[in-house]
Copies of this chain bind each other. A is one copy, B any other.
């Protein structure tokens, strides 16, 4: 069993209206020290160990489904999870 943590973030050059809204809300709550907010996705996947290295499959999943690589970047970490 593998536990995979996937982080999907908007590319630097892409406008993030959701982040802007969160920043505005924090400012209105007087957290004026907040200069910038970017909102992304965080996914946790549990994969069965089928004897192959999961990194290739996870990369494919990110490219094909989990991230829109035109506007988003992704990175992932694979941890060996204890079998249940």
Residue A20, interface by CB 8 Å: no
How many identical subunits does the complex contain? Answer: 2
Known A22-B65, A29-B64: A35·B46 in contact at CB below 8 Å: yes
Residues of B within 8 A of A57 (CB): 31, 33
Total interface residues in chain A, CB < 8 Å: 34
Bound Cα distance from A33 to B60, whole angstroms: 13
Residues of B within 8 A of A50 (CB): 33
Residue A61, interface by CB 8 Å: yes
List A residues at the B interface (Cβ < 8 Å): 1, 7-9, 19, 22, 25-26, 29, 31, 33-48, 50, 54, 57, 60-61, 64-66
